[in-house]
């Protein structure tokens, strides 16, 4: 078996009010997997993600990324390997030009000149934004800014791409374009989303969280076909979506 890109063993965490946000969570994500992290609001999904690069540290249990413990002395290496794309791209896109945003992270790693330029160009090409390199990010559409935010993460050459509600606030064309980009990246992926059709399109595996626990973990078609499980964890398809199409998914 390969070394998991993400390994969480018996991880527990409570916020200052004492409410457990994670309660004995075990999770392993292996290279090449694309995993949807599903569950109702307050289930612990965001808290889990924030443990992957040390923004939060477990009160009990162990978190590892590519075999490296997520502890303070390893933060630089861990954060290079875990690329988190937040829901609001303006949290990540802040430089005067798109190119400067994408080059910012690798420059901080010490890349210079031709090496830095090659890294930035490759990341922009991966998301189809080469022709926007000299644009000011605030002049781009929301969907274009999200693609730039992904490029800033790809420029760090992470081992796993973590996406928080990637389809939120996108029009239908933007949703499709982003899905096409994500599908061709070939990266290990953990996607936090309420958008079940989007998760079904992009991911092979689903992990369902509720009240800080892993409620289910398995092939996404099986998870989303289990009506009792869906109801118990407040998961619903959009109005008008035919769940029967799950069976016809390639």
- Alpha-carbon dihedral angle through residues 165, 32, 81, 125, given to the nearest 10 degrees: -70
Report the number of distinct structural domains present in the chain.
1
Does 1 fall in a domain?
no
Task: Read off the pLDDT of each residue in 13-33 and give the average, rounded to a whole number.
Answer: 94
Q: What is the mean pLDDT of residues 9-33?
A: 94
205 in a structural domain: yes
Residue 132 lies in a domain: yes
Intra-chain end-to-end CA distance of the chain, in Å: 26
Domain of 159 in residue numbering reads as 6-248
Task: Check whether 91 has a pLDDT greater than 90.
Answer: no
Per-position DSSP letters for 136-159, written without gaps between them: -GGGS-HHHHHHHHHHHHHTT--S
CATH of the domain at 87: 3.40.50.300
Q: What is the pTM of this model?
A: 0.92
Closest CA to 209 of 65, 96, 43: 43
| % the chain with pLDDT above 70 | 96
What is the average per-residue pLDDT within 4-21? 94
For the cut 50, the answer to whether the pLDDT of residue 249 exceeds it is: no
């Amino acid at each position: 078996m390969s070394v998991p890109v993400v390994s969480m063993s018996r991880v527990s965490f409570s916020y200052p009010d004492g409410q457990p946000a994670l309660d004995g969570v075990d999770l392993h994500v292996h290279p090449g997997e694309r995993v949807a992290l599903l569950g109702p609001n307050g289930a612990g999904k965001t808290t889990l993600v924030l443990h992957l690069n040390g923004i939060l540290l477990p009160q009990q249990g162990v978190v590892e990324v590519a075999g490296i413990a997520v502890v303070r002395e390893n933060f630089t290496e861990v954060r290079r390997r875990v690329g988190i794309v937040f829901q609001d791209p303006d949290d990540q896109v802040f430089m005067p030009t798109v190119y400067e945003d994408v080059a910012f992270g690798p420059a901080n790693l010490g890349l210079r000149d031709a090496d830095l330029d090659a890294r930035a160009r490759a990341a922009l090409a991966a998301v189809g934004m080469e022709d926007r390199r000299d644009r000011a990010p605030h002049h781009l559409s929301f969907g274009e800014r999200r693609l730039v935010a992904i490029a800033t993460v790809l420029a760090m050459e992470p081992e796993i791409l973590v996406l928080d509600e990637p389809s939120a606030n996108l029009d239908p064309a933007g949703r499709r374009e982003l899905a096409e980009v994500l599908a061709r990246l070939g990266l290990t992926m953990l996607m936090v989303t309420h958008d079940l059709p989007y998760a079904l399109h992009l991911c092979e595996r689903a992990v369902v969280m509720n009240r800080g626990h892993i409620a289910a973990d398995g092939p996404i078609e099986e998870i989303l076909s289990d009506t009792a499980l869906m109801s118990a964890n407040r998961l619903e398809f959009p109005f008008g979506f035919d769940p029967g199409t799950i069976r016809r998914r390639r």
